[in-house]
Amino acid sequence: MTSNALTSAKIGALRELLAEVPAASAHAPTSEALQRAKELNETQIAEVIGRFLSMPQATMTLANPVLYNAPVQCGEDEVTLAIRSYSIRGIVDEHEIVSGALSAQGLLFAGLFGRRAGTMEDGTREEEVLGTWIQREFEGALHAAEADGLITQVARFVHQYPGSGPELALQYFIAKRRAELAAKGVGDHGVNTDRSAGSLLDEMLSEHMFIVAVGCVSMFCNHELRRRPESTATALVEAARTFLTGELAAGKTAFEVCYSCLLGRSATPVESNILERMGMIQMHHGSAGSNMVARFLASLHCNSVLEFFAACQITLDSKRHFGAIHDMTELIRRMEKAPEEEHAAMILQEVLTGGLPTFGHPHISAASRGGTIQQDPRAAVYLSPVLDALDNGDLVPTDKQARRLALIQRIYRTALVEGIVKPGKEDSEPLRLTPNTDFGAWTVQEILGIHDNDRTFLTYVYRAFGWMMDAREQLQLKIIRPVIAADPAIVPKPDGVDVIPKVVTKLHNRLASEKAAFSKQ
């Protein structure tokens, strides 16, 4: 759908929709336990529980318990992967994303409004109207036909500071936009309970798509400068305007334009599908650090929506989150220069000195010497459509990529299949590590040839919608550091669905094999 599809009636209906906030949770185990303690005349217990009465439960937006157990072979040993999987508000399960049963707009709708999208009186799906609203904000931010619009400004910025990642451009233009609004006398409304939920969400969608537009132009212009370093600022502006206008004229969504800008050329449907899957899972999953900042700012009444997004993005882009991806690139580069017989020792050294990049997890038991180990399914979910594309011949790695992918497979086989045996503990069970989300993100982006500087942007585009969900949740209940487990009602039940364990097992079997995992099979 294009922005022209938003009639005045649909705009009115959507404004009503934006004001709709998910129902507050009735889950109150602390107050229920306090009441029971009083009934039993347990004065001391009641006194202790009372100290925690004001502490809210964990977010109602998502939950990630262990839902599946998948037995796999690690050499001669059978190891059970205890797979964690996610649900948004107990109504959207992860396997729906993997099976293609849910669009990005449908997932976003469920997270923002706490229900599945319905159908409007004219037969239009609510998620389509929301998607069209997002598209209109994105196209409006670009000002494709405006002589001195955003495309021109960002292209000139990149020409002056070539090689800078999209995060620098968006931080610069966020500050610039705030200054321009202040000069016009337009004050910041902020993130707080003094304003209506609808106006807050409207502003969040508008400002986020402005920021996304900045990042898109920035990435494309840097690609163009790498191709044509002699380009003048004027030529760069024209190239960006021509490319973006062409992408929009082809009917691409804002998300699809992002994928093309990531690649520096028009993305194929296969590439768009791979990147959309990865983006949806990024929206779907919590990220402890950046989401905690979102909740903290929303709880403490952030002064500006733009400031809200900037602070969360800076946290997301920190070494804690994306350092693992960059560290893996550095490890691969060192392994490329070393003899093959030294690779196992290099991997062991990484484990002994603080952790192998993209393996293990700070919050789940992703390392074990026993027969069961917890597995984050995201790497497999990201890579599932990649494996299909490789097998169908839609993706063909270059020689350099093939060598790097062979090294990533070697790391997997060493860390999980063979396991790590520390010096002096040769008689102990090997320590096995499972890969985390960054393993999948690194591998997908390596196969697609996404530039190192741009490998945080896709997560930012989608994770920001998760931050909007967090902010809307704060309108109902202030959650900064939750101490009470989430309502069991938001934990999904597998009910015989085996989509997630199948994709995890498929990836494991390919990586555990001595055959090249990332070649056509």
User: CATH number, domain at 282?
Assistant: 1.10.580.10
> Which pLDDT score is estimated for 145?
59
To which residue do tokens 């405006």 refer?
Answer: 146
The domain of 355 spans: 322-364+377-446+502-512
* Mean pLDDT of the region 96-123: 90
Same domain, yes or no, for 263 and 311?
Answer: yes
CA distance 360 to 400: 27
> Which pLDDT score is estimated for 295?
83
Most confident of 1-15, 169-183, 225-239: 225-239
Structure tokens at 112: 């923002």
> Which pLDDT score is estimated for 449?
94
CA distance 420 to 417: 9
Whether the pLDDT of residue 334 is over 90: the answer is: yes
The burial of 201, by beta-carbon neighbours within 10 Å (0-12 exposed, 13-18 middle, 19 or more buried), is given as buried
Most confident of 204-213, 284-293, 311-320, 427-436: 204-213
Whether the pLDDT of residue 42 is over 70: the answer is: yes
475-507 residue pLDDT tens: 877 777 666 777 777 877 777 889 999 999 999
495 occurs within a structural domain:
no
CA distances from 354 to 229, 347, 349, 357, 359 (A): 40, 11, 9, 9, 11
> Which pLDDT score is estimated for 319?
57
> Which pLDDT score is estimated for 288?
64
Whether the pLDDT of residue 185 is over 90: the answer is: no
489 occurs within a structural domain:
no
Percentage above 90 pLDDT, the chain: 59
What's the pLDDT band for 92 if we cut at 50, 70, 90?
Answer: confident
Interacting residues of 339 by C-beta distance below 8 A, sequence separation 6+:
none
111, 60 Cβ separation under 8 angstroms: no
433-491 residue pLDDT tens: 999 988 999 999 999 999 988 988 998 999 999 899 988 888 877 777 666 777 777 87
Same domain, yes or no, for 252 and 342?
Answer: no
What's the pLDDT band for 354 if we cut at 50, 70, 90?
Answer: confident
Same domain, yes or no, for 419 and 279?
Answer: no
Same domain, yes or no, for 397 and 259?
Answer: no
Same domain, yes or no, for 220 and 139?
Answer: yes
What domain count does the chain have? Answer: 2
513, 74 Cβ separation under 8 angstroms: no
Closest C-alpha to 170, from 327, 316, 328, 325 = 316
179-193, 212-226, 392-406: least confident range: 179-193
* Mean pLDDT of the region 422-442: 88
User: Which CATH number goes with the domain that contains 394?
Assistant: 1.10.230
* Mean pLDDT of the region 222-241: 97
> Which pLDDT score is estimated for 53?
80
474 occurs within a structural domain:
yes
Same domain, yes or no, for 390 and 464?
Answer: no
20 occurs within a structural domain:
no
* Mean pLDDT of the region 383-406: 96
> Which pLDDT score is estimated for 137?
94
CA distance 236 to 224: 7
What's the pLDDT band for 88 if we cut at 50, 70, 90?
Answer: confident
CA distances from 142 to 177, 254, 501 (A): 14, 11, 42
Same domain, yes or no, for 226 and 328?
Answer: no
Which pTM does this prediction carry? 0.90
13-17, 33-37, 374-378: least confident range: 13-17
CA distances from 96 to 92, 104, 471, 511 (A): 7, 11, 25, 25
329 occurs within a structural domain:
yes
The larger pLDDT score, comparing residue 482 to residue 184, is at 184
Same domain, yes or no, for 280 and 427?
Answer: no
What's the pLDDT band for 1 if we cut at 50, 70, 90?
Answer: very low
> Which pLDDT score is estimated for 285?
65
113-127 residue pLDDT tens: 989 999 988 888 899
182 occurs within a structural domain:
yes
Same domain, yes or no, for 308 and 395?
Answer: no
139-168 residue pLDDT tens: 999 985 577 899 999 999 999 999 988 999
Same domain, yes or no, for 353 and 430?
Answer: yes
13-23 residue pLDDT tens: 888 888 888 88
43 occurs within a structural domain:
no
Same domain, yes or no, for 172 and 295?
Answer: yes
Whether the pLDDT of residue 2 is over 50: the answer is: no
- State the SS3 of 353-400: CCCCCCECCCCCCCEECCCEEEECCHHHHHHHHHHHHHHHCCCCCCHH
28 occurs within a structural domain:
no
Same domain, yes or no, for 298 and 167?
Answer: yes
